[in-house]
Amino acid sequence: MSRTERLLDLLQTLRRHRLPVSGHRLAAEMGISLRTLYRDIATLQCQGAEIEGEPGVGYVLRPGFMLPPLMFSTEEIEALVLGTRWVAGRSDAHLGLAARNALAKIGAVLPQELRDELDAIPLLVAPSAVAVTDRVDVSLIRQAIRAEQKLEIAYRDDKGVDSARVIWPFALGFFDSVRIVMAWCELRNDFRHFRTDRIATLAAAGRYPRRRHALLKEWRAIEHAPRKT
Protein backbone atom coordinates (compact mmCIF):
# COMPACT_ATOMS: atom_id res chain seq x y z
CA MET A 1 0.00 0.00 0.00
CA SER A 2 1.34 3.42 -0.96
CA ARG A 3 1.60 6.21 1.60
CA THR A 4 -1.13 8.13 -0.23
CA GLU A 5 -3.51 5.17 0.04
CA ARG A 6 -2.60 4.75 3.70
CA LEU A 7 -3.46 8.39 4.46
CA LEU A 8 -6.77 7.98 2.65
CA ASP A 9 -7.54 4.81 4.62
CA LEU A 10 -6.74 6.63 7.85
CA LEU A 11 -9.20 9.39 6.95
CA GLN A 12 -11.88 6.84 6.14
CA THR A 13 -11.21 5.01 9.40
CA LEU A 14 -11.53 8.24 11.38
CA ARG A 15 -14.78 9.09 9.57
CA ARG A 16 -16.28 5.82 10.79
CA HIS A 17 -15.74 6.87 14.42
CA ARG A 18 -17.89 9.72 15.69
CA LEU A 19 -16.30 9.63 19.14
CA PRO A 20 -12.58 9.87 19.93
CA VAL A 21 -10.76 6.60 19.24
CA SER A 22 -7.43 5.60 20.75
CA GLY A 23 -4.22 5.54 18.75
CA HIS A 24 -3.72 1.86 19.59
CA ARG A 25 -7.12 0.97 18.14
CA LEU A 26 -6.54 3.06 15.02
CA ALA A 27 -3.14 1.48 14.46
CA ALA A 28 -4.63 -1.99 14.87
CA GLU A 29 -7.44 -1.26 12.39
CA MET A 30 -4.92 0.14 9.90
CA GLY A 31 -2.40 -2.63 10.40
CA ILE A 32 0.42 -0.16 11.04
CA SER A 33 2.69 0.70 13.95
CA LEU A 34 1.73 3.34 16.50
CA ARG A 35 4.73 5.41 15.45
CA THR A 36 3.57 5.38 11.81
CA LEU A 37 0.07 6.32 12.91
CA TYR A 38 1.28 9.37 14.82
CA ARG A 39 3.36 10.45 11.84
CA ASP A 40 0.40 10.05 9.44
CA ILE A 41 -1.91 12.01 11.75
CA ALA A 42 0.63 14.82 11.88
CA THR A 43 0.82 14.81 8.06
CA LEU A 44 -2.95 15.06 7.70
CA GLN A 45 -3.11 17.84 10.28
CA CYS A 46 -0.50 19.78 8.29
CA GLN A 47 -2.68 19.39 5.18
CA GLY A 48 -5.66 20.93 6.96
CA ALA A 49 -7.47 17.94 8.43
CA GLU A 50 -9.18 18.91 11.70
CA ILE A 51 -8.02 15.89 13.69
CA GLU A 52 -8.36 16.65 17.37
CA GLY A 53 -6.76 14.67 20.17
CA GLU A 54 -3.40 13.48 21.40
CA PRO A 55 -1.59 10.26 22.37
CA GLY A 56 -3.26 8.57 25.32
CA VAL A 57 -6.51 10.51 24.87
CA GLY A 58 -7.79 9.54 21.43
CA TYR A 59 -8.46 11.16 18.06
CA VAL A 60 -11.55 12.43 16.24
CA LEU A 61 -11.91 13.96 12.76
CA ARG A 62 -14.15 16.98 12.45
CA PRO A 63 -16.44 16.75 9.37
CA GLY A 64 -15.88 18.56 6.09
CA PHE A 65 -12.28 17.67 5.19
CA MET A 66 -11.21 16.24 1.83
CA LEU A 67 -7.64 15.53 0.84
CA PRO A 68 -6.47 18.05 -1.78
CA PRO A 69 -6.40 16.89 -4.50
CA LEU A 70 -9.30 14.42 -4.38
CA MET A 71 -8.02 10.95 -3.50
CA PHE A 72 -9.37 7.45 -4.09
CA SER A 73 -7.96 4.01 -3.52
CA THR A 74 -7.40 1.73 -6.51
CA GLU A 75 -10.51 -0.32 -5.72
CA GLU A 76 -12.61 2.82 -5.30
CA ILE A 77 -11.48 4.01 -8.73
CA GLU A 78 -12.35 0.59 -10.18
CA ALA A 79 -15.81 0.80 -8.62
CA LEU A 80 -16.37 4.29 -10.03
CA VAL A 81 -15.28 3.30 -13.53
CA LEU A 82 -17.28 0.06 -13.57
CA GLY A 83 -20.36 1.82 -12.24
CA THR A 84 -20.03 4.59 -14.81
CA ARG A 85 -19.68 2.11 -17.64
CA TRP A 86 -22.75 0.22 -16.44
CA VAL A 87 -24.83 3.40 -16.18
CA ALA A 88 -23.67 4.56 -19.62
CA GLY A 89 -24.79 1.27 -21.16
CA ARG A 90 -27.94 0.51 -19.12
CA SER A 91 -29.60 3.85 -18.35
CA ASP A 92 -31.21 6.54 -20.47
CA ALA A 93 -29.03 8.81 -22.62
CA HIS A 94 -29.18 11.78 -20.25
CA LEU A 95 -28.09 9.77 -17.21
CA GLY A 96 -25.38 7.99 -19.20
CA LEU A 97 -23.92 11.32 -20.30
CA ALA A 98 -24.09 12.63 -16.72
CA ALA A 99 -22.16 9.57 -15.51
CA ARG A 100 -19.41 10.10 -18.08
CA ASN A 101 -19.21 13.80 -17.24
CA ALA A 102 -18.96 13.04 -13.52
CA LEU A 103 -16.11 10.61 -14.11
CA ALA A 104 -14.32 13.19 -16.26
CA LYS A 105 -14.62 15.76 -13.45
CA ILE A 106 -13.21 13.28 -10.95
CA GLY A 107 -10.34 12.44 -13.29
CA ALA A 108 -9.50 16.13 -13.70
CA VAL A 109 -8.67 16.53 -10.00
CA LEU A 110 -6.87 13.23 -9.41
CA PRO A 111 -3.09 13.12 -9.11
CA GLN A 112 -1.40 12.01 -12.33
CA GLU A 113 -0.62 8.48 -11.16
CA LEU A 114 -4.26 7.86 -10.22
CA ARG A 115 -5.48 9.53 -13.42
CA ASP A 116 -3.40 7.03 -15.40
CA GLU A 117 -5.12 4.20 -13.49
CA LEU A 118 -8.51 5.73 -14.28
CA ASP A 119 -7.84 5.52 -18.01
CA ALA A 120 -6.62 1.91 -17.86
CA ILE A 121 -9.19 0.12 -15.68
CA PRO A 122 -9.70 -3.32 -17.31
CA LEU A 123 -13.25 -3.84 -15.98
CA LEU A 124 -15.76 -3.98 -18.83
CA VAL A 125 -19.55 -4.16 -19.07
CA ALA A 126 -20.99 -6.54 -21.65
CA PRO A 127 -23.67 -5.24 -24.02
CA SER A 128 -27.23 -5.90 -22.89
CA ALA A 129 -28.75 -8.99 -24.48
CA VAL A 130 -32.07 -7.16 -24.93
CA ALA A 131 -32.26 -3.56 -26.07
CA VAL A 132 -34.62 -1.35 -24.05
CA THR A 133 -36.78 0.91 -26.22
CA ASP A 134 -38.67 3.56 -24.30
CA ARG A 135 -41.46 5.60 -25.88
CA VAL A 136 -41.08 8.42 -23.35
CA ASP A 137 -38.10 10.38 -22.05
CA VAL A 138 -37.06 8.54 -18.87
CA SER A 139 -35.25 11.64 -17.63
CA LEU A 140 -38.69 13.23 -17.17
CA ILE A 141 -39.62 10.40 -14.82
CA ARG A 142 -36.46 10.99 -12.80
CA GLN A 143 -37.29 14.71 -12.63
CA ALA A 144 -40.80 13.89 -11.40
CA ILE A 145 -39.35 11.65 -8.68
CA ARG A 146 -37.00 14.38 -7.49
CA ALA A 147 -39.81 16.97 -7.52
CA GLU A 148 -42.33 14.61 -5.85
CA GLN A 149 -44.65 15.22 -8.77
CA LYS A 150 -47.60 13.19 -10.00
CA LEU A 151 -47.58 11.86 -13.55
CA GLU A 152 -50.52 11.16 -15.81
CA ILE A 153 -49.54 8.19 -17.96
CA ALA A 154 -51.02 6.07 -20.71
CA TYR A 155 -49.97 2.52 -19.90
CA ARG A 156 -50.24 -0.88 -21.57
CA ASP A 157 -49.90 -3.89 -19.25
CA ASP A 158 -48.42 -7.31 -20.00
CA LYS A 159 -51.80 -8.50 -21.34
CA GLY A 160 -51.97 -5.66 -23.84
CA VAL A 161 -54.68 -3.76 -21.94
CA ASP A 162 -54.44 0.03 -22.13
CA SER A 163 -55.30 2.27 -19.19
CA ALA A 164 -54.93 5.85 -18.03
CA ARG A 165 -53.24 6.23 -14.66
CA VAL A 166 -52.21 8.95 -12.25
CA ILE A 167 -49.15 7.79 -10.35
CA TRP A 168 -46.86 9.12 -7.63
CA PRO A 169 -43.39 7.96 -8.74
CA PHE A 170 -40.85 7.61 -5.93
CA ALA A 171 -38.14 5.28 -7.30
CA LEU A 172 -36.77 3.94 -10.57
CA GLY A 173 -35.19 0.49 -10.82
CA PHE A 174 -32.62 -0.33 -13.50
CA PHE A 175 -32.38 -3.96 -14.61
CA ASP A 176 -30.41 -5.54 -17.41
CA SER A 177 -33.25 -5.47 -19.95
CA VAL A 178 -35.95 -3.30 -18.38
CA ARG A 179 -36.53 -0.21 -16.22
CA ILE A 180 -39.26 -0.16 -13.58
CA VAL A 181 -41.02 2.82 -12.00
CA MET A 182 -42.11 2.23 -8.41
CA ALA A 183 -45.16 4.37 -7.68
CA TRP A 184 -48.40 4.81 -5.81
CA CYS A 185 -51.26 4.32 -8.28
CA GLU A 186 -54.39 6.40 -7.69
CA LEU A 187 -56.48 4.04 -9.82
CA ARG A 188 -55.57 0.96 -7.73
CA ASN A 189 -55.07 2.89 -4.47
CA ASP A 190 -51.93 0.85 -3.89
CA PHE A 191 -48.29 0.52 -4.84
CA ARG A 192 -47.68 -0.62 -8.40
CA HIS A 193 -44.70 -1.19 -10.68
CA PHE A 194 -44.67 0.19 -14.24
CA ARG A 195 -42.26 -0.75 -17.00
CA THR A 196 -40.97 2.36 -18.75
CA ASP A 197 -41.14 0.71 -22.18
CA ARG A 198 -44.90 0.25 -21.69
CA ILE A 199 -45.59 3.92 -20.94
CA ALA A 200 -46.94 5.51 -24.12
CA THR A 201 -47.30 9.09 -22.87
CA LEU A 202 -46.73 11.03 -19.68
CA ALA A 203 -47.50 14.49 -18.37
CA ALA A 204 -46.89 16.30 -15.09
CA ALA A 205 -49.95 16.55 -12.84
CA GLY A 206 -48.88 18.60 -9.83
CA ARG A 207 -47.20 17.60 -6.58
CA TYR A 208 -48.36 14.53 -4.73
CA PRO A 209 -49.43 14.95 -1.09
CA ARG A 210 -46.85 12.69 0.58
CA ARG A 211 -43.07 12.78 0.86
CA ARG A 212 -41.09 10.57 -1.50
CA HIS A 213 -38.95 9.17 1.32
CA ALA A 214 -42.05 8.12 3.26
CA LEU A 215 -43.46 6.32 0.22
CA LEU A 216 -40.16 4.55 -0.38
CA LYS A 217 -39.91 3.48 3.26
CA GLU A 218 -43.48 2.12 3.24
CA TRP A 219 -42.93 0.30 -0.05
CA ARG A 220 -39.73 -1.31 1.25
CA ALA A 221 -41.50 -2.49 4.38
CA ILE A 222 -44.16 -4.18 2.28
CA GLU A 223 -41.65 -5.67 -0.16
CA HIS A 224 -39.48 -7.09 2.64
CA ALA A 225 -42.36 -8.39 4.74
CA PRO A 226 -42.47 -12.20 5.14
CA ARG A 227 -44.61 -13.88 2.48
CA LYS A 228 -47.60 -15.88 3.64
CA THR A 229 -47.49 -19.58 2.79
pLDDT of residue 185: 97
The yes-or-no verdict on residue 157 having pLDDT over 70 is: yes
The DSSP element (H or E) to which 162 belongs, if any, is: strand 162-174
- Examine residue 69 and say whether the peptide bond preceding it is cis (omega within 30 degrees of 0): yes
Phi, psi at 205, each rounded to 5°: -135, 35
**Residue-wise over 70-96: b if at least 16 C-beta within 10 A, else e?**
ebbbeeebbebbeebbbbbebbbeebb
The yes-or-no verdict on residue 191 having pLDDT over 90 is: yes
The yes-or-no verdict on residue 181 having pLDDT over 60 is: yes
pTM above 0.75, yes or no: no
Q: How far apart are CA 211 and CA 217, in angstroms?
A: 10
The yes-or-no verdict on residue 220 having pLDDT over 90 is: yes
